[in-house]
Structure 1
């Protein structure tokens, strides 16, 4: 093991560049998957005829597919039908498709966890379905959804490493390039990569606990 050579300024700068791409992909994927997943979850909860059934079919299909397959599909298969995407967009699209399905189930479960008695009381007091959802259901469901949603975002950040299969210049891709220069760098570089992932994921876990206390 060569920690001195592995942790040279050049290598650390190269890893940080890759980590920047990882965080960029994770940021866009988190924002978009949260929006799409929330919409899908609400549609499933609302049981809108035909539309809800179509969403259920799409969500259950995606949830039972490996993320790696979806990444291959967005980068290699879509160009075959005329949609050529660059590596960054293909990775973000794959993550959004996969994570939206997961988040939609979290949102649907959170909404369903609100007691029916409170919903009936809101309706009897004159609130319509949208008002009941916004003023009664969502505030109570939110604090129950925060921990699993943040956990899903942590998984999303880790899943960005799968984009290495399409040579996206993210953290794992840069780590592999450095490791290819010298086999003595493998353990030190992977230790450094692990520390980077841990630092961000631990920060998200702390944020989750604070948000949970704030909304409770």
Structure 2
């Protein structure tokens, strides 16, 4: 019990929260970027534009089948060899954005495919262009259907930020490692603390998704 009391000192808890803020910052930026890029790529895949859609699909399939850790290593260690120098946070955000964009692109493509073809035909018959049909008719319906898989992917993104510890991103996991690195007796208390923090953040996101799902039905 004494180990828990000492491990959860005000200094250590404050230090953990600083790491949590970094985790949330990286997650939110990556989430927004990957959602925008993934949506764009998903629409391109669905549109079946000659050569373009196939090329985009091929690249997406490659990224989806690569380990995220490999992409993180590439952005931080390999890009400098190409004269592209990124900070630790920039490398982490770039890697997460690339990987999650590929995942979200497939979710968006599947969501668009789930919208009845009659919606497109009706919109075109009423004089809407392809872009107007996609923006005003198809995507709003598709996103409603995509809420559960998108939230699941966003939760995975938040958890995946811990992989960036390997390039010394000062996130929640890294801060916990610093604390129990000073005292091995703090390992279990730290793992328990960060587990609770990850759970609270991800569960809150799940509750928001459920609320949105009810509101949009």
TM-score (norm 1): 0.97
Aligned equivalents of 1:87, 1:137: Cα separation in 2: 38
Aligned length: 216
Unaligned runs of 5+ in 2: none
Give the 3-state SS of the residue equivalent to 1:85 in structure 2: coil
Shift of 1:121: 2.4
Shift of 1:212: 1.1
Shift of 1:92: 0.1
Runs of 4+ in 1 over 6 A off after TM superposition: none
Match of 2:181 in 1: 180
Shift of 1:73: 0.2
Q: Does 1:48 align with 2:49?
A: yes
Match of 1:209 in 2: 210
Shift of 1:197: 0.4
The answer as to whether partners of 1:154 and 1:204 remain within 8 angstroms in 2 is: yes
Match of 1:102 in 2: 103
Deviations 1:116-175 (A, max 9, x none): 122222222322212221232122112101111111111000000000100111110111
Shift of 1:53: 1.2
Match of 1:157 in 2: 158
Deviations 1:73-117 (A, max 9, x none): 000000011011110000000000000000000000000001112
How large is the Cα RMSD of the aligned pairs? 1.0
Match of 1:114 in 2: 115
Aligned equivalents of 1:159, 1:68: Cα separation in 2: 9
Aligned equivalents of 1:5, 1:147: Cα separation in 2: 40
